[in-house]
């Protein structure tokens, strides 16, 4: 091995060592930045959770029991079919517990029958509502 080859190899080794040290410093900086970003992400997620929870608490409750309920039920019953209270609630969006009072209001102006037959939607035999 010549002196020039030894010097060249030692420069290569020296260069590789310097490069390794530089890469280690960059890695340390990146790890520190990643730690900071992870902390910031935890804060952002916590803020998001708080906002979601607060928005759910502040959201207005759905409006029900209004004057249009009778119209919605009549649209379903106008076809002359027999529909149970559960299916009326699903089709109209009116809560199930309010269906009997809506039917009672409709019954003041139109005759509503309540036989125990199969509902045309769910096919279960129970008390249904039908105009007639």
Tens of pLDDT, residues 22-79: 999 999 999 999 989 999 999 999 888 888 877 766 666 555 555 578 888 888 888 8
Same domain for 55 and 72: no
Mark which of 59, 77, 109 sits at the end of a domain: 59
Residues 123 and 85 in one domain: yes
Instruction: Identify the residue whose tokens are 């309540």.
Output: 114
**Co-location of 46 and 14 in the same domain:** yes
* Residues 6+ away with beta carbon under 8 Å from 33: none
Contact 76, 91 (CB under 8 A): yes
CATH number of domain containing 85: 1.10.10
Total of domains in the chain: 2
pTM of the model: 0.48
């Amino acid at each position: 091995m010549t002196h020039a080859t030894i010097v060249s190899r030692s420069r290569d080794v020296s260069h590789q060592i310097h490069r390794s040290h530089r890469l280690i410093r960059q890695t340390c900086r990146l790890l520190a930045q990643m730690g900071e970003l992870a902390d910031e992400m935890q804060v952002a997620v916590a803020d998001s959770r708080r906002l979601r929870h607060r928005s759910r608490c502040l959201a207005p409750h759905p409006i029900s029991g209004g004057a249009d309920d009778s119209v919605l039920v009549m649209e379903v019953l106008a076809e002359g079919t027999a529909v149970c209270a559960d299916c009326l609630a699903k089709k109209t969006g009116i809560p199930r517990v309010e269906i009997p009072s809506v039917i009672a209001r409709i019954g003041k102006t139109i005759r509503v029958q309540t036989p125990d037959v199969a509902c045309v939607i769910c096919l279960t035999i129970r008390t249904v509502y039908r105009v007639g």
